Amino acid sequence: MKEITKTAFEGYTYIEGGVCAAKGFKANGLYCGIKKSEVPDGNESPFGNKKNDIGMVMSDVMCNAAAVYTQNKVKGAPVTVTKSNLAKTGGKAQAVIVNSKNANTCNADGEQKATRMCELAAGQLNIKPEEVIVASTGVIGQVLPIEPIEACIEELATGLTYDGNERAATAIMTTDTVKKEVAVEFNCDGKLCRLGGMAKGSGMIHPNMATTLNFITTDCAVSSEMLQKALSEVVKITYNCLSVDGDQSTNDMVALMSNGMAGNEEITAEGEDFEVFKKALYIVMMNMTKMLAKDGEGATKLITCVCSSAPDLDTAIIIAKSVIRSPLVKCAMYGADANCGRIMCAMGYSETDCDVTEADVYYTSNAGKIMVCENGKGLSFDEDKAKEILTEEEIEIFIDLHRGTSQATAWGCDMTYDYVKINGDYRS
């Protein structure tokens, strides 16, 4: 069961469509054979070796665009090329091409191959190569075969449809067990606007930015500068608060495209309309963050850590992230062990000067709520009730620091035997 519980937000309605929910966006995905299937016909692979491995998204008109990228010093060639493309166009793009099964990272011909992918897409879509966002995900350090992409590019482009979001979302999956899509509609400047996205990620997920590949589209008219501002602010409290295993990927990217086809007056400065748009972006990115966490490699539980009553937002984020990425906390959640000592330990080594020694700690789920630590001291509690709470699929660790009014949330998952199995056999 990988579906998440979605929170309702007044004025925003969840809709279907993912990256195709917004007006004027179409998508496609197909299998081109970047990594040949090693599964005999008639048999099933754990992750579907014959699943789609190349995807495309295109807008009917030119878009304003913004992106954030991995902070790993080793960067995938597509990250470098996309960053260069957006710089050349002044924050404009019209299409995305993305492949799975090969990260095109640590390769001598990496940038050449990533540039070639842009050229191939542009040739079919009648746009310029620099107007294409390119991304790759998969095994690092293996040469990307360009021939399968060249062979399928016409079929990929001609198959673009306004309901092709699921094909594209499937194409970016690696060890993901489910596709990840979210979309909402909302009113801005009296116009009905839509914003939706797709994400991939299951392992090698850790802040800071961005954790995985994420593509978001909207028909709300927003300038490139304000798109970048909104994206940078929202990523801080969503994707950058996600950790599955503590490994920061080389290919992380979040790309955001706005084609303005909703007809609202373009948002070019802060104000009420900007806040309405930014909240829509938050809702989509927050839900995709939860999806990424719940589908962590081998995971059985979505773990949320809320750090409240902190002196400031950064402190709250640092502490929540420290708890959520702790291997010992993850293992305890897998075993439904209400060990508050592991929570306090992770808080204590977090990189903050805040005094956490008098914190309260609670565990919460659909099965109830229990306090396990008060003023930094462990409590006696009903072990059976605690185990019942921690056996649920979605668990919240709530921390009250008693040090201020700021609050932050981080998301992660439990760590299971299957995580080791998956990553011990990743290249096969």
**How far is the C-alpha of 63 from the C-alpha of 229, rounded, in Å?**
16
Contacts with 105 (C-beta within 8 Å, 6 or more apart), sequence order: 74, 75, 76, 77, 136, 140, 141, 250, 251
Half-sphere exposure of 86 (CA within 13 A, CB side): 25
Half-sphere exposure of 12 (CA within 13 A, CB side): 21
Token pair recorded at residue 322 = 């420290």
Decide if 211 is catalytic. Answer: yes
Q: Which residue, among 399, 315, 317, 408, has the nearest Cα to 359 in the 3D structure?
A: 399
**How far is the C-alpha of 21 from the C-alpha of 184, rounded, in Å?**
8
Element (H, E) at 286: helix 272-294
> Among 211, 217, 218, 315, which one carries the catalytic annotation?
211
Phi, psi of 199 (to 5 degrees): -140, 155
User: Rounded to a whole number, what is the distance in angstroms from the first to the last CA of the chain?
Assistant: 26
Half-sphere exposure of 260 (CA within 13 A, CB side): 17
Query: Pairing between strand 394-400 and 360-365?
Result: antiparallel
SS (H, E, C) 73-85: CCCCHHHHHHHHH
Contacts with 214 (C-beta within 8 Å, 6 or more apart), sequence order: 197, 198, 199, 200, 239, 253, 254, 255, 285, 288
Quote the DSSP letter at residue 48: -
Place of tokens 């991304």: 135
Degrees, nearest 5: CA angle 377-380-382: 140
Residue 138 Rama label (left phi>0; alpha psi -120 to 50; beta):
left
Instruction: Name the residues annotated as catalytic.
Output: 211
